[in-house]
Chains A and B, each alone.
Chain A
Amino acid sequence: MRISLAQVSPRLGDLQKNFELHRYFIQKAKKKKADLIVFPELSLTGYTLMDMVQEVGLNPAEDPLFKRLKALSREIDIILGFVEEKEPGLFYNSAAYLSKGQILHIHRKVFLPTYGMFEEGKFFAPGKNFRPFAASFGKTGLMICRDFLSFGAGYLLFVGGAEVIIIISAAPGRGFSDEGGFATSRMWELMGEALSFFSSSFVVYANRVGFEDGKAFAGGSFVYNPLGHLIAKAPAVDEQMIIADLDLEEVRSARKKWPFKRDDRPELLLQALQRIVHEDED
């Protein structure tokens, strides 16, 4: 399975221009014979939308632009980020998986960062679920940016049977590091390495680049294989498309070597969690 990560810089609030951007990279990925192209979080709209959320929100079942995006998915699967108006007046930070002209799955961002430089909770409704779904190449789980930093979320996808975990992101870079790139990029890689290894799954992280209101999005998209090895990485800052070949057989061989999946006890954790949550209630 060949996957292509489009580390791009969308135009803030300009759906038409961003549609063109998607089309351009989809053509490019098709030429490289990719089976799937992954765009970053809110790739169709840009990230720092604030009140524009209500202006760029769309219902994917009816929206004409989305119809054209679905049409583009006849020859290549597409993951993209957009503002979803799921019900009138309710806006979600969503990721759609498009395949064969249809919407196969939508994930709505659960953890909306609202602290410091982040204001998502002010403008978006939170999603509620982490549900893996059957993509043509294997069982797949989606997360959006901050979702990925919750190890509980990654665990839910693991328990749900995900073999490929895909995260779309709009993570700004902060701090300096000796290796070059932003210090915060390490945080994402750390989780990528840990989650891929301990879930024996592929972890695919597609971040964006470019600037919005002075924030620099850090790029550094990557892919880890089910043994926790980095198999592809994009540079920081630069717009670029990278390609990785995923052999889903590696999930099987990793799980034969490390029986984390076999030995997992979600029913025990569920009971313990229920106890903890109830005891801790105010």
Chain B
Amino acid sequence: MKINSPFVEKVLCAFIKEELSKFHYSKGIIGLSGGLDSSVCAFLAAKALGPKNVLGLILPYRETFSEDVKDARSVARRLGIHLRLIDIAPMVDTYFSRFPTRDKVRIGNKMARERMSILYDFSAREKALILGTSNKTELLIGYGTIHGDMACAINPLGDLYKTQIRELAAYLGVPEKLLAKKPTAGLWPGQTDEGEIGLSYEEVDQILFQLVDSRQTPEAAVATGFARESVEKIVSLIRNSEFKRKMPPIAKISSRTVGHDFLYPYDRNR
């Protein structure tokens, strides 16, 4: 599972640069949470595009002076990228004042989609493409909000497990404080990814690596020493989140159909 960080940095920077230039963009935009993934993405983007071509948007709910906001600011300052802070509370509160709920997941998802909506508007406003920050762990276990934090124009981090992102972050010089932070989706105060998933990222990633990269059966993963219930949990998370990794199915009734047999690459004519 070990990565070669200098090479990974080189490839991902080349990817960001080439993909943007193909679509005639020179600027990238990133939602900065103060967490590790968006910080790593900002480091890569600043290197690939030049700091003046990167805009970090900090989109907190109310707590505009929280530790996370401070961390996001310090990353932006250190890299010299542009920065804007927009409090999403007015939009989110307006909605939930009409449809009140205590369901933390609904509220968290709504916030993630509010952030997405602002990022996309800023993408048009600033003529900048959105760089995604969903990592391989999240994509595989479906730990993300569909059309929320999973939405982006390109995703440089989607083939790196969380623990690999830590390795890359250390190499890139991401501040120690961010490396030590407990990962959180920020759905509600005090939430942590590992608390919610019920396993550490080290465990999750090693199990995923066996199942996905090494194409092992769940039985084989158990045989190498992982707890059966952990493996089964991961297997079921993967199975139940396929819809987050695909375009929605289109009912095929004609002779040639988008997604079925009208098949073109994303980079068509680029």
- CB-contacts of B8-34 with A (<8 A): 8, 10-11, 14-15, 18-19
**Cβ of B65 under 8 Å from chain A:** no
In the bound complex, residues from chain A placing their C-beta under 8 Å from that of B18 are 9, 210-211
- Rounded to whole Å, the gap between the CB of A23 and the closest CB of chain B is 20
B265: contacting residue among A50, A173, A237, CB under 8 A: A50
Q: Are A178 and B4 in contact (CB-based, < 8 A)?
A: yes
Complex Cα gap A41–B218 (Å)? 39
Interface digits, A16-54 against B, CB 8 Å rule (1 contact, 0 not)? 000000000000000000000000000000001111100
Across-interface contacts of B268 in A (CB, < 8 A)? 12-13, 52
What is the CB-to-nearest-CB distance from A174 to chain B, in angstroms, rounded to a whole number? Answer: 10
Query: How far, in whole Å, are A178 and B10 apart by their CA atoms in the complex?
Result: 14
Q: Is B99 interfacial (CB 8 A cutoff)? A: no
Give chain A nearest CB distance to B251 CB in angstroms: 20
Docked complex: A142-192 residues within 8 A CB-CB of B: 173, 176-178, 180-181
Closest beta carbon of chain A to B196's beta carbon, Å? 29
What separation, in Å, do the CA atoms of A173 and B4 have in the docked complex? 14
Report yes or no: B264 in contact with A51, Cβ–Cβ below 8 A: yes
Inter-chain contact A177/B269, CB cutoff 8 Å: no
The answer to whether the Cβ of B267 comes within 8 Å of any Cβ in the partner chain is: yes
Per a CB cutoff under 8 Å, which of B3, B19, B267 touches A176?
B3
In angstroms, Cα B266 to Cα A11, docked, is: 13
Instruction: Tell me if A213 and B265 are in contact (CB < 8 A).
Output: yes
Residue of B3, B4, B11, B264 touching A52 (CB-CB under 8 A):
B264
A50: chain B residues within 8 A (beta carbon): 263-265
Contact B265 A12 (CB under 8 A): yes
B269 partner residues in chain A, CB cutoff 8 A: 11-14
| Bound Cα distance A38, B47 (Å) | 32
| Chain A min CB distance to B270 (Å) | 6
A213 to B11, CA, bound (A): 14
State the interface size on chain B (CB cutoff 8 A).
Answer: 22
Q: How many residues does chain A have at the interface if contact means C-beta atoms less than 8 Å apart?
A: 24
Check A211 against B265 for contact (C-beta < 8 Å): no
- Contacts A211-B14, A211-B19, A214-B15 hold; do A180 and B267 have CB atoms under 8 A apart? no
In whole angstroms, how far apart are the Cα atoms of A11 and B171 in the complex?
33
Does B6 make an interface contact (CB < 8 A)?
yes
Chain A 212-227 interface 0/1 with B at a Cβ cutoff of 8 Å (1 = within): 1110100000000000
A48 / chain B contacts, CB cutoff of 8 Å = 265, 267
Chain B residues with CB under 8 A of A11: 269-270
Q: A11-B269, A14-B269 are in contact. Are A211 and B15 (CB under 8 A)?
A: yes
A120 nearest CB across to chain B (Å): 13
Q: In whole Å, how far is B135's beta carbon from the nearest beta carbon of chain A? A: 15
| Interface flag for A236 (CB, 8 Å) | yes
Residues of B within 8 A of A52 (CB): 264-265, 268
Contact between chains at A51 and B262 (CB < 8 Å): yes
Contacts of B266 in A (CB 8 A): 213-214
Residues of the B chain whose Cβ atoms lie less than 8 Å from the Cβ of A216: 11, 14-15
Which 8 pairs between the two chains have the least Cβ-Cβ distance? Answer: A50-B263, A48-B265, A176-B4, A213-B266, A180-B7, A13-B269, A51-B263, A213-B265
Can you report 24 A-B residue pairs in the complex whose CB atoms are below 8 A from each other? A11-B269, A12-B269, A48-B267, A49-B265, A50-B263, A50-B264, A51-B263, A51-B264, A52-B265, A176-B4, A176-B7, A176-B8, A177-B4, A180-B6, A181-B7, A211-B15, A211-B18, A211-B19, A211-B267, A212-B267, A214-B15, A214-B154, A236-B7, A237-B11
Query: Chain B interface (Cβ within 8 Å of chain A)?
Result: 2-4, 6-8, 10-11, 14-15, 18-19, 154, 262-270
New contact pairs (14) apart from A12-B265, A48-B265, A176-B8, CB-CB < 8 Å: A9-B18, A11-B269, A12-B269, A50-B263, A50-B264, A50-B265, A52-B265, A212-B265, A213-B265, A213-B266, A213-B267, A216-B14, A237-B11, A237-B14
